[in-house]
Amino acid sequence: MLLPLLLVLAMSFASRGLYGGVQWAFSLTNYTMLFDSLYLWIYGRSLLLAVATTAMCLLIGYPLAYFIARAPTRWQGVWLLLVIIPFWTNFLVRTYAWMFLLRTEGLLNTMLLNVGVIRTPVDILYTDWAVLIGLVYGYLPFMVLPLYAAIERLNRSVVEAAWDLYANGWSVFWRVVFPLTKPGVIAGCLLVFIPSVGAYITPDLLGGAKTMMVGNLIQHEYLVIRDWPFGSAISFVLMALVVLGVLAYIKRGGIFEDVKERR
Amino acid sequence: MKPRGWLLGISLGNLVFLYGPIAILVAFSFNASRLSATWGGATLQWYRELLSDQALLVAVQNSLLVATVSTAMAAILGVAAAIGLESPPPRAQRIIEGAMLMPLIVPEVMLGVALMLFFVTIKWPLSLVTVTIGHAAFNVPVVMVIVRARLRKLDPHLLEAASDLGATPWQAFRRVTLPLLAPAIVGSVLLAFTISLDDFIVTFFTGGPGSTTLPLKVYSMIKSGVSPEINALSAVLVVVSMALVAVAAMLQRQPK
């Protein structure tokens, strides 16, 4: 498995042949091309969307995880299963469900028009918003599971002690609960951020041609423009970023536990 | 902090968010109207069209074939890797394990591209065979991680006892290690099988002409048109995957 990955690295230093082949001559052209403003725009969008997705997942995932972790034990299993089931449904189908809803002549617009909230249909599909919704929808379980594990392990008496010391709800959360569940937060954010930044299906289907992300750019370079070396350079940078992020996390302990939870 | 009303509210909201779109899609797969948002009465027409779609049946066959063969390959290689990893010193173990886990960590597009380049470079024509190998590549670490977790919890004295009783290493493996690992192997195989069935990206890159699997077919249906047939297909897939999850959950409960 490492061999193909190394091949990508090697190819990123080669250059594109006249008819789309590969010329094996060492050059750094591909890496300088990476800084073209057109491409910078695409990385920027990918990063922004991935960060926004992670933030949204954290925002709606934390209360859910907290609720599950504090529910009676026999209900915890049921809730967890409910969170996991959509994750086992084919990703394409789940993404398609949103296409179906968000279409200009789709159900959401029809309903809003009938109720009278809007006069003209809003275009949501094929915008960044649609991609954001799709990504949050797709990766929410990755956030909830590690958060649940962290909150479940939280020592209740510490929280009670904080209450006894007359902390109000906010400060109990910010100064006790949140710091103690930080490992779960970090794991969840990483598990959401990594697939979001390299997402392919979601921006492809919900974003259309206007909103490319790095994943689509790579596919485009390989299969449409057939500039393999440049595609390799982009992939390599993306991979390097992800691996560095993961390594930084391992230094803080235990990615492997989380990978297990993820699959 | 006790669970409060608003926490329950947000949690229920989450469920609506997670299930709403799927439920609506399933409901509309019975819609007689071709327009996506108008209800024109109930029909089974789209399901009938599904059954008569020859290309779809071929895609299902391809998917099952790829999933079965790649899962078998992943099971053998993954178990071997998990056991082999026990022998080097701990530091080396961590490095090797990290390298083996790469396919789970790198973005999927990257994995697909790398595999495609690899096959093209060694001049292996892209086909169902390359797709199968590609799937095995990302399923080996899945099996390995799960089996290894179980392996580490095994009592090493059991193996010593077996060899004290005169078992050859192979016999000890066959009759002691393997049965003890069985639950983990079954679990990981189910997981690998499902991941393979659902995979789109790696198949998309490593496939050639004639290697359309079910997800690829779904993708082209989504891309190409507005036929409600895709709603019916989605509904079938949703029901099948939920049934699989239910079966897996029951299987996991039994050994305890």
This complex has an ipTM of: 0.77
Is this prediction's pTM over 0.95? no
Measured at the CA of A262, the angle between CA A259 and CA B2, to 5 degrees, comes to: 115
**Alpha carbon distance, N-terminus to C-terminus of chain A:** 19
Structural domains in chain A, sorted by start = 35-262 (1.10.3720.10)
pLDDT mean across residues, chain B = 80
Residues of A in contact with B77 (CB under 8 A): none
Residues 119-178 of A with CB under 8 A from B: 137, 140, 159, 163, 169, 172-173, 177
Is B145 close to A232, i.e. CB distance below 8 A? no
Alpha helix positions (H), A71-213:
73-88, 91-102, 107-115, 128-153, 156-164, 169-172, 178-180, 182-197, 201-206
pLDDT tens for chain B, 256 residues: list them.
Answer: 444 678 888 888 888 888 888 888 888 778 777 665 666 667 777 777 777 777 788 888 888 898 899 999 989 888 888 888 877 787 778 777 777 777 777 778 878 888 888 888 777 788 888 888 888 888 888 888 888 888 888 887 887 888 888 888 888 888 888 888 888 888 888 888 888 888 888 888 888 777 788 888 888 888 776 567 788 888 888 888 788 777 777 776 655 4
- What are the residue boundaries of the structural domains of chain B, listed by start? 56-215
Average pLDDT of the residues in A32-49 = 75
What are residue A35's phi and psi, to 5 degrees? -90, 10
Distance in Å, alpha carbon of A35 to nearest chain B alpha carbon: 20
CATH of B56-215, one of 3.90.1150.10, 1.10.3720.10, 3.30.420.40, 3.30.70.141: 1.10.3720.10
Taking the Cβ of residue B17 and every Cβ of chain A, the question of whether any pair is shorter than 8 Å is answered with yes
Which residues are CB-contacts of A21 (< 8 A; sequence separation ≥ 6)? none
Contacts 24+ apart (CB under 8 A), B182-188: B183/B150, B183/B255, B184/B146, B184/B147, B184/B149, B184/B150, B184/B151, B185/B75, B185/B79, B185/B143, B185/B147, B186/B251, B187/B146, B187/B248, B187/B251, B187/B252, B188/B75, B188/B78, B188/B142, B188/B143, B188/B145, B188/B146, B188/B147
Q: Is residue A240 less than 8 Å (CB to CB) from chain B?
A: no
**Does B21 contact A232 at a Cβ distance shorter than 8 Å?**
no
Query: Would the CB atoms of B200 and A140 count as touching at under 8 Å?
Result: no
